[in-house]
Structure 1
Amino acid sequence: MATALITPPEEASLSSVETVADLVRRLGDIPLYRIRTQPPIGTATENDVVRHKCCELIDGVIVEKGMGWEESILEIEIAALIRNYLQQSCIAVVAGADGYARMRPGRVRVPDVGVYLLNRFPTNKAPRVAICDVAPDWAIEVLSRSNTKKEMELKRADLFEAGTRLIWIADPRKRKVEAWTAVDEMDLLTPQDTANLDEILPGFTVSIGDWFGQLDRVMESGDS
């Protein structure tokens, strides 16, 4: 495993946005087609993000999540591994890409997979709400071709600020996982590694090679 130290990103804010170029930059240099213009930019609410589905709310702007077959397969695969573990040890709940989490007022993020320890909820059970007030303990993001480095920096900053302890950024094309424990601390996991998740899910491990290998078992070979 390799370790990297990354400078925390600048805080995103739409208070000074005057041009489309500035808006795109503040959202992490994402493609324009992922920025919804209805409701009008700067006016979107939490009700809007729930209605649109597969989107996030960033300071009054609805932003579509990057989606794809490879990403979906990996998300379901690791969620299934986690769910199998939780069948024997019901200490957490695992949510998918419609598991909204409120970072702060006006900021709603949606990890591709989120693991939430039940002891962080007042009743030790997840609430029946559209948007959860608790950030995931472990957030997993599987990169799509439309995700950008800056976008993921901004998302990591939001998650850590809200209380997330571990963030995985998985790249299905490069077959690597960045395991972030803070905005400036990251271990690089490769297919030769087995990740130990003891600090969140005692006794739970993930073979990175087996996880990525699911793509080879079910998908045609293609461009990287």
Structure 2
Amino acid sequence: MSSLPINIPPNLQVSEEQFALLAAANRDLHLELTANGELIIMPPTGGNTGKRNIDIEGQLWFWNRQSKLGVAFNSSTAFKLPNGAERSPDAAWVTQARWDALTPAEQETFPPLCPDFAIELRSKSDRMEPLRKKMQEYIDNGLRLGWLIDTKNKKVEIYRPNQSVEVVDSPTSLSGEDVLPGFVLDMQVVFS
């Protein structure tokens, strides 16, 4: 089953607090709220997607644990983007300075910032166009590097500010470039 958008009528607005309550009451679902008020309901992932997600998150976490350059997040974290959307990348990372600039209350809720780095992993039922729009939304809101990983076709779309999207076929690894210095994602386990 793919994600399901639900349109919220303009006269029925979901506040940040109400969205947080909806997300807390429906922990088995991943919920997102677009900037134009569309509620996105994503069902739990299947086994292969979950296996890939944990491997990606684990590699990012391990690199961050060693580098101590920031904070890594899993797919359960929603970020309140500058445009008002509440989005949950499959994996994300924020520099330590940006994280430390948030208040304890902001760190406890949906952090009000766009990650510096984000990964979206296409699951079997996902369509590419909504994922591409989501990646572009991250870029438009301050993302410095993003990877859209399409395991079905063994391709990765690399997103950077003010650049065209780079498409890489069957990479064995991906570099975190200057955003995540020294981070290399082993794609062989992700594509297997």
TM-score, length-normalised on structure 2? 0.79
Say yes or no: does 1:201 pair with 2:180. yes
Question: Which blocks of at least 5 consecutive residues in structure 2 are unaligned?
Answer: 24-29
- How many residues are paired up? 183
Inter-partner Cα distance in structure 1 for 2:2 and 2:162? 26
1:142 to 121, 125, 143: 121
Q: Does 1:180 align with 2:159?
A: yes
Worse overlay, 38-47 or 169-178: 38-47
- C-alpha deviation, 1:134, in angstroms: 1.7
Q: CA RMSD in A?
A: 2.9
Matched, 1:168 2:144: no
Contact kept, 8 Å, 1:156 with 1:183, in 2: the verdict is no
Give SS of 1:63's match.
strand
TM-score by length of 1: 0.69
Q: Within the alignment, does 1:108 sit opposite 2:78 as a pair?
A: no
Consecutive unaligned residues of structure 1, counting only runs of 5 or more, are 1-30, 214-224
Distance (whole Å) between structure 2 residues aligned to residue 33 and residue 202 of structure 1: 33
Relative to structure 1, the CA distance from residue 76 to residue 42 in structure 2 (aligned partners, 3 Å threshold; closer, same or farther) is farther
SS of corresponding position for 2:138: helix
Q: Percent identity?
A: 20
Distance 1:106-1:90 versus aligned 2 partners, 3 A rule: same
Q: State the 1:65 CA deviation.
A: 2.8
State how far apart, in whole Å, the 2-side matches of 1:168 and 1:186 are.
10
SS in 1 for 2:135: helix
Q: Larger radius of gyration, structure 1 or 2?
A: 1
Larger RCO (CA within 8 A; separation ≥ 6): 1
Q: Which residue does the alignment assign to 2:15?
A: 45
Q: What is the SS of the residue equivalent to 2:190?
A: helix
